[in-house]
Structure 1
Amino acid sequence: MSYLITTKNILLETILTITNLNKKFGVLHAVNNLSLEIKKGNVYGILGPNGSGKSTTLGIILNVVNKTSGEYKWFGGKLETHEALKKVGAIIERPNFYPYMSAYENLKLVCHIKEISENKIDEKLEVVGLLDRKNSKFKTFSLGMKQRLAIASALLNDPEILILDEPTNGLDPQGIRQIRDIIKLIASNGTTILLASHLLDEVEKVCSHVLVLQKGKMLYSGKVDGIMSNEGFFELEASNLNQLSETLSQLSAVEKITIEEGKVLVFLKTPMEASELNTYLFQKGIVLNHLVKRKFSLEEQFLALTKN
C-alpha cells in the first residue's frame, strides 16, 4: 500500500512537459524547438530579452496562442488541456477589472465566471496585502495594488502552478519589492511558480530555477545556483602588481590575469581556496593587502550566454 502512494506522488511531480515546441509568425521563429520540464514545488524564471519568446511560450501552454508544431502536456497528459487549466492560475496581461467596483466585488465576479467558491476571497486578499482595501474601488488603486489584486484573482482556485508574465513591469521599487515578497510567500506554501521576466535581479532573488531564452531558443535550463556556479575569480591587491601578476601566472589553476583599477583579477580554470592562494603568495615573498574571492553574477553569466 505504501509503495502505491509513493509511486503516485512521483508521477505527480511533473506539472508541465514541453517537447520540441515551435511557433512561427511568418518568417519569425518565435519559439524554436523548445523542450523543458516543470517540476512541482519549484520557482522557475524564464529569462530573456524582449522578443525572446517568453510570452509566446506562456500563451501556447495557456491555450491562447496556437502552436506550429511540437507538444506540451499538463500533469503527465492525464487531463485534457481545458480541465488541466482549472488547476492553473495565470496573469499574462495587465490587470483588467471593473474600475467602479470594489476589490471584493471584482474578485466575487471572477469566482462567478470561473464557477468557484467565494469563500477564499478574504484569504487571498490577505496574501497580497489588500484585505484592508477590500471595499475600495479598483480605480483608486496604484499600479502595484492593481497587480497584487490580479495575483489574488489568479490564486482564487488554489492553483497548483501560478504563471506570471513580467509581474513587476512598470512598478516603482517599493511595488517591485512587494510583488517579490508575495511570490516568495506563495512559493513557501508549496505552489509551483513560472515567472517570465527580462529582469535578472528579479529572477536571481525569487527563483530556484532559470530558463534562458534568446530568439526562441533555449540557451540554459537548470538551477539558478547552477548557472552561477563556476570557479569564479580572485580580486587581489599588493604593493607591486607586476610582481604579483608574474608570480600568479606560474600557477596551473590560473586561466587568465588582468589588472583593473589598481586590482589584479585572477580567473581560475580549476578550484582553489583563498587560503591556499594566500599561502602560495606568502611563500613567494608577496604580502597581500586585499584578497576577495568572487563568483560571476547571474547578469555576467547571462551576458556570456547571450553575447552572440
Structure 2
Amino acid sequence: METILSIKDLNKNYGKIQAVKNLSFDIIKGNIYGILGPNGSGKSTTLGIILNVVNRTSGSFSWFNGNISTHKALKKVGAIIERPNFYPYMTARQNLQLICQIKGVSYDKINDTLETVNLFERKDDKFRTYSLGMKQRLAIASALLNDPEILILDEPTNGLDPQGIHEIRQIIKKIAENGTTILLASHLLDEVEKVCTHVIVLQKGEKLYSGRVETMVASNGIIEIKTEENIENTINVLKNYHETASVNVDGDLIIVQLENDISSATLNKYLFENNITISHLVKRKPSLEQQFLDLTNN
C-alpha cells in the first residue's frame, strides 16, 4: 500500500501555546481520512503545515513515500482550506478556466469536474447567483482540476444547511470511489462517521486515536435493560456478573457495558436465574460520538 503522506513527531508553537504536539500518522492511498476534534484542537494548523502555508516548529512530514520534494508533491494535491473565493461576475466555467491558467493545466477537465460536483447544468451561471452549497461544490471542482491523487478539505460542510451537507458528503464519496484519497478536517462526529474510513482524533494538538472508524466504534457491545423490578437490586445483580465492565442508569434504562461479546439471551438467562424479570433488552454498539466523548473525557 502506497503511503501518500507521513507525519512524524510534528510540533507547532505559537508563542507559549503549543497548537500541535508530537503528532504522527500516515495517510495510505485509497482511503478517506477524517481529522476529528473541536475548534482549537490543531486540525487546521496541521493541514496548513503539510500544505506549506504554516511553518512547523519541529518534526517532519513527507509526501509519496518521501520520493519527491514537497514542492513537486503539492502539484499532485488538491486542497481547500479557506472559504472559496471566486469572481462573482464570472460564470462557473470562466472561474475554472482562470484557475486552470493559474495552475498551468488544460481546460479538458472542467466539464468532468463540474459533472462530479453536480454543477454542469449551472456552468454558465454567474458565481454571485450560487447558493453557499453550490459555491462550496465549485471550490471542490477547482481543487480537482489538476487531477490530484489526494484531496484535502478543511471543514467542507461548515455553514451549510442539511441539504448542502448531504450533497457535499455524497460528492466526497463519489470522488473517493474514483480512486482519489481524501483527507478532511471536521469537528462534526456525524460527518466523520458517515463519510470516513479512518479517523485521527485530536485534542489540544495531541493525537488520542488513529485508526479505522469501524475499529474505534467496535466493542463488545452495550446492552440496554428496562425492568419493573427494584432498580438498585438489578444494578447490584448486574455488577456481580463476570462479563460486566460497567453499569449506568439513563432515565428508566440500565446501560450495561460488556467485557466480552455475549448474546442478549445469555444475559437474560443470568438475570432470570437471579429472579430479575425484564421488560426491555436491546444490544447495541456504541456510537462514534460516545467513543469520542470517552476518549476526550468531555
Q: Equivalent residue for 1:7? A: none
Which of 261, 267, 272 pairs up with 1:282? 272
**Cα shift readout 1:252-293 (whole Å, capped 9, x = no counterpart):** 011222333222222222222212212333344444321111
CA distance in 2, matches of 1:258, 1:99: 55
**Cα shift readout 1:95-140 (whole Å, capped 9, x = no counterpart):** 1011100000000111111111111101110110100000000011
- Residue 25 and residue 250 in structure 1: after superposition, are their counterparts in 2 closer, same or farther (change >3 A)? closer
Are 1:272 and 2:296 counterparts? no
CA distance in 1, matches of 2:150, 2:49: 16
CA distance in 2, matches of 1:195, 1:65: 17
CA distance in 1, matches of 2:230, 2:144: 57
Q: Equivalent residue for 1:115? A: 104
Matched to 1:114, the amino acid is: K
**Cα shift readout 1:152-173 (whole Å, capped 9, x = no counterpart):** 0001111110000000111111
Are 1:226 and 2:215 counterparts? yes
- Equivalent residues of 2:49, 2:55 under 8 A apart: yes
CA distance in 2, matches of 1:256, 1:66: 45
* 1:25 to partner: Cα distance: 1.1
Matched to 2:16, the amino acid is: V
Q: What secondary structure does 2:194 align onto?
A: helix
CA distance in 2, matches of 1:65, 1:278: 57
Q: What secondary structure does 2:165 align onto?
A: helix
**Cα shift readout 1:171-193 (whole Å, capped 9, x = no counterpart):** 11111111011011111111110
Matches within 5 A, 1:87-236: 87-236=76-225
* 1:23 to partner: Cα distance: 1.1
Matched to 1:166, the amino acid is: E
Are 1:248 and 2:238 counterparts? yes
Range that drifts further, 219-228 or 281-290: 281-290
- Percent of counterpart pairs with the same letter? 62
Q: Equivalent residue for 2:3? A: 14
TM-score (norm 1): 0.93
- Equivalent residues of 1:101, 1:138 under 8 A apart: yes
- Equivalent residues of 1:238, 1:289 under 8 A apart: yes
CA distance in 2, matches of 1:105, 1:163: 23
Are 1:292 and 2:282 counterparts? yes
Range that drifts further, 130-139 or 20-29: 20-29
Matched to 2:110, the amino acid is: I
Are 1:24 and 2:7 counterparts? no
- Equivalent residues of 2:229, 2:277 under 8 A apart: no
TM-score (norm 2): 0.96
Are 1:35 and 2:41 counterparts? no
- Equivalent residues of 1:236, 1:291 under 8 A apart: yes
Matched to 1:255, the amino acid is: A
CA distance in 2, matches of 1:153, 1:83: 19
Q: What secondary structure does 1:252 align onto?
A: coil
Structure 2: segments with no counterpart, 5+ residues? none
CA distance in 2, matches of 1:80, 1:259: 55
Structure 1: segments with no counterpart, 5+ residues? 1-9
RMSD (CA atoms): 1.4
- Equivalent residues of 1:253, 1:269 under 8 A apart: yes
Q: How many residues align?
A: 297
Q: Equivalent residue for 1:5? A: none
CA distance in 2, matches of 1:19, 1:263: 45
